[in-house]
């Protein structure tokens, strides 16, 4: 995994550094720009919003409390994320938790957890002991059926995992004689955590990619929380790194149109980008690091009939909601991530325990992923809050009542993402675009672009490395052949009075 980073650094520096515009300041865009400066090029990140981070973005309310777009955890099996933390010298910002997977037991009389405890043994022994040692979620016949089903994943690794792309979690389990109860009560938690959808729609490949890493790597399933707001504690150091080496990071710079050459030798290649306020920017190369739904909208008409783009049109982001509730007292939670196994909630954590910046000795703040959120993103925050409180009553029967008569709610905040990570349905793997595109000066990044991890922070970071390497390789190859890059549009400063569409045509 760290190989891509090494390859980038080991290649010769360009004699003439190239200007590369990176559209999107989420982790994929920031990772692309970080690795482009390492390659000796000059990236310019254009982020639409006024803050960096995309799906990891976080901001403060008037009390100084942080609201996050999503509850995020890092896994031991995230080598590219770990390399990035190390290179930025911020490894101490990862707060590692006890090696365990903790499942809530909704509808018990009192608040109870079912724990898979991973002992200090090498993989896959630690996972084996964790599974055998858990006696209340899986029966012995279920463990045996599941264990036999997972043997090929362990033995044949990624190639076997990729072959399981066409079936849902539920279909895969049924084909191996694993009862529906296991899917509906145990794998529901994993499906919702991985892709915010239920196991009867999620592709089994997604679950196997995660399980396979957990079985192969001793610390693969170990969980870390960042010690504060991802925008400040992770994106900011990446921005500083990029800028310290000559790159530029702009916020409030939404790209509104990709302008292409309409004819001639460079027909269809990018000539420039139109930003808000009629500003036009141009570069030698362009990298899209937008979410899939955004690049689908911005794809120029003349690109849409190319297989690369027409396939990508089949991908779409899944809705999800992140909700924070501040309570007036400490709840009996644990310092780790909890899989709720409840109908509306996916994972949750008491951030007053798990995260330094949000820590409190006497009050809990529960941060929860509300999924599947289809049918909910259009509802009011109050309706979502009420439904969450009903779920919490089932998870904390002695401490929380939906009517607020036990623990009192001081405030709540709710972030709805109508189209988040791509929905990992069976058959969608073939739709994922590679970083190298059929357009000579256009490269694709983003968690949905082809890389072996899931739609995750790790996947986004790796996609950025691969996109930077693609630009580097293209440029080395072209410089050797004295290839002339497509010409650029003359840049124009902000001028709101000019009607762009009628005025500029791409140079021939």
Q: How far is CA 1 from the centre of its chain?
A: 17
Which is nearer to ligand FAD, 52 or 138 (by Cβ)?
52
The DSSP output letter for 203 is B
Task: Using the structure block, give the residue that is written with the tokens 């709101």.
Answer: 496
Among residues 198, 217, 447, 475, which is the contact residue for ligand FAD, using CB under 6 A?
A: 447
Q: Which range, of 106-114, 287-295, 302-310, 382-390, touches ligand FAD by CB under 6 A?
A: 287-295
Position 421 contacts ligand FAD (CB under 6 A): yes
Which is nearer to ligand FAD, 8 or 454 (by Cβ)?
454
Which is nearer to ligand FAD, 138 or 255 (by Cβ)?
255
Among residues 70, 76, 220, 319, which is the contact residue for ligand FAD, using CB under 6 A?
A: 70
Contact criterion met (CB below 8 Å) for 203 and 425? yes
For 351-419, strand residue ranges (E) read: 365-370, 409-417
Map residues 7-46 to x or -, x wherever contact with ligand FAD holds by CB under 6 A. Answer: ----------------xxxxxxx----------------x
Distance, in Å, from the CA atom of 123 to the CA atom of 127, rounded to the nearest integer, reads: 7
Task: Using the structure block, give the residue that is written with the tokens 């045996």.
Answer: 144
- Min separation Cβ 383 and ligand FAD, Å: 19
Which is nearer to ligand FAD, 58 or 506 (by Cβ)?
58
Position 444 contacts ligand FAD (CB under 6 A): no
Map residues 231-260 to x or -, x wherever contact with ligand FAD holds by CB under 6 A. Answer: -----------------------xx-----
Distance, in Å, from the CA atom of 54 to the CA atom of 330, rounded to the nearest integer, reads: 31
Position 58 contacts ligand FAD (CB under 6 A): no
Distance, in Å, from the CA atom of 383 to the CA atom of 460, rounded to the nearest integer, reads: 32
Q: Which long-range contacts (CB under 8 A, 24 or more apart) does 16-20 make?
A: 16/479, 17/41, 17/42, 18/42, 18/283, 18/284, 18/285, 18/471, 18/475, 18/485, 19/44, 19/283, 19/284, 19/285, 20/44, 20/283, 20/284, 20/285, 20/286, 20/287, 20/471
Backbone angles phi, psi at 30, to 5 degrees: -70, -40
Query: Which distant-in-sequence residues (6+ apart) come within 8 Å of 207 by Cβ?
Result: 169, 187, 190, 191, 194, 199
Rounded to 10 deg, the angle between the 3-10 and 27-38 helix axes is: 40
Which is nearer to ligand FAD, 374 or 401 (by Cβ)?
374
Contact criterion met (CB below 8 Å) for 65 and 326? yes
Q: How far is CA 262 from the centre of its chain?
A: 35
What value, to the nearest 5°, has the Cα angle with vertex 291 and ends 289 and 297?
105
Position 47 contacts ligand FAD (CB under 6 A): yes
Among residues 106, 237, 247, 291, which is the contact residue for ligand FAD, using CB under 6 A?
A: 291
Among residues 323, 425, 455, 474, which is the contact residue for ligand FAD, using CB under 6 A?
A: 455
Among residues 146, 234, 294, 315, which is the contact residue for ligand FAD, using CB under 6 A?
A: 294
Position 433 contacts ligand FAD (CB under 6 A): no
Map residues 360-379 to x or -, x wherever contact with ligand FAD holds by CB under 6 A. Answer: ---------x----------
Distances (CA, A) of 462 to 32, 105, 445: 9, 35, 9
Distance, in Å, from the CA atom of 378 to the CA atom of 210, rounded to the nearest integer, reads: 31
Query: Which distant-in-sequence residues (6+ apart) come within 8 Å of 59 by Cβ?
Result: 51, 66, 67, 229, 231
Q: Which range, of 1-9, 206-214, 327-335, 451-459, touches ligand FAD by CB under 6 A?
A: 451-459
Which is nearer to ligand FAD, 215 or 368 (by Cβ)?
368
Q: Which range, of 50-58, 152-160, 261-269, 348-356, touches ligand FAD by CB under 6 A?
A: 50-58
Which is nearer to ligand FAD, 71 or 407 (by Cβ)?
71
Position 417 contacts ligand FAD (CB under 6 A): yes
Among residues 79, 228, 446, 486, which is the contact residue for ligand FAD, using CB under 6 A?
A: 446
CA dihedral 75, 82, 42, 309 (to 10 degrees): -30
Q: Which range, of 118-126, 290-298, 397-405, 500-508, touches ligand FAD by CB under 6 A?
A: 290-298
- Min separation Cβ 204 and ligand FAD, Å: 19
Position 456 contacts ligand FAD (CB under 6 A): yes
Which is nearer to ligand FAD, 59 or 479 (by Cβ)?
59
Distance, in Å, from the CA atom of 383 to the CA atom of 362, rounded to the nearest integer, reads: 28
Give, as ranges, the residues between 302 and 341 that touch ligand FAD (CB under 6 A). 320, 322
Position 271 contacts ligand FAD (CB under 6 A): no
Among residues 11, 19, 49, 174, which is the contact residue for ligand FAD, using CB under 6 A?
A: 49
How many residues line the site for ligand FAD (CB under 6 A)? 39
Using CB under 6 A, list all residues that contact ligand FAD. Answer: 23-29, 46-49, 54-56, 69-73, 254-255, 289-291, 294, 320, 322, 369, 417, 420-421, 446-447, 455-460
């Amino acid at each position: 995994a760290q190989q891509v980073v090494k390859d980038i650094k080991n290649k010769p520096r360009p004699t003439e550094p190239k200007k590369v515009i990176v559209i999107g300041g989420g982790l994929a865009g920031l990772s692309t720009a970080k690795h482009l400066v390492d390659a000796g090029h000059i990236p310019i990140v254009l982020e639409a919003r006024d803050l960096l981070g995309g799906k990891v973005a976080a901001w403060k309310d008037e009390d100084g409390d942080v609201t996050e777009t999503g509850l995020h955890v890092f896994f031991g099996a995230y080598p590219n994320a770990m390399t990035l933390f190390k290179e930025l010298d911020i490894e101490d910002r990862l707060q590692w938790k006890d090696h365990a997977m903790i499942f809530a037991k909704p509808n018990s009389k009192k608040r109870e957890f079912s724990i898979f405890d991973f002992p200090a043994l090498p993989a896959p022994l630690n996972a084996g002991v964790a599974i055998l040692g858990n006696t209340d979620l899986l029966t012995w016949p279920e463990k045996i059926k599941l264990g036999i089903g997972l043997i090929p994943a362990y033995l044949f690794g990624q190639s076997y995992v990729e072959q399981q792309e066409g079936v849902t979690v539920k279909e895969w389990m049924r084909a191996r004689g694993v009862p529906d109860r296991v899917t509906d009560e145990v794998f529901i938690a994993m499906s919702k955590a991985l892709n915010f959808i239920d196991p009867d729609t999620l592709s089994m490949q997604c679950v196997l990619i995660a399980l396979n890493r957990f079985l192969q790597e001793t610390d693969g399933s170990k969980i870390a929380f960042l010690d504060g707001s991802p925008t400040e504690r992770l994106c900011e150091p990446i921005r500083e790194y990029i800028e310290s080496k000559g790159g530029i990071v702009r916020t409030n710079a939404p790209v509104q149109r990709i302008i292409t050459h309409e004819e001639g030798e460079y027909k269809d290649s990018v000539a420039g980008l139109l930003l808000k306020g009629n500003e036009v920017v141009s570069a030698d190369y362009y990298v899209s690091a937008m979410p899939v739904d955004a690049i689908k909208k911005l794809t120029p008409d003349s690109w849409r009939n190319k297989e690369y783009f027409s396939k990508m049109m089949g991908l779409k982001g899944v809705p999800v909601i992140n909700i924070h509730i501040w309570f007036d007292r400490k709840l009996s939670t644990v310092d780790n991530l909890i899989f709720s196994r409840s109908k509306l909630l996916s994972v949750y954590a008491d951030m007053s325990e798990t995260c330094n910046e949000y820590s409190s000795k006497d009050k809990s703040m529960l941060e929860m992923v509300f999924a599947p959120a289809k049918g909910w993103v259009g509802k009011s925050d109050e309706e979502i809050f009420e439904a969450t409180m009903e779920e919490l009553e089932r998870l904390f029967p002695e401490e929380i009542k939906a009517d607020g008569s036990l623990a009192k709610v001081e405030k709540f905040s709710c972030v709805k993402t109508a189209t988040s990570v791509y929905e990992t349905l069976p058959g969608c793997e073939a739709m994922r675009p590679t970083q190298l595109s059929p357009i000579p000066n256009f490269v694709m990044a983003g968690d949905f672009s082809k890389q072996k991890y899931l739609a995750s922070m790790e996947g986004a970071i790796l996609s950025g490395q691969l996109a930077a390497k693609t630009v580097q390789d293209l440029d080395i190859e072209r410089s050797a052949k004295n290839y002339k890059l497509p010409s650029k549009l003359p840049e124009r400063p902000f001028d709101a009075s000019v009607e762009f569409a009628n005025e500029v045509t791409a140079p021939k």
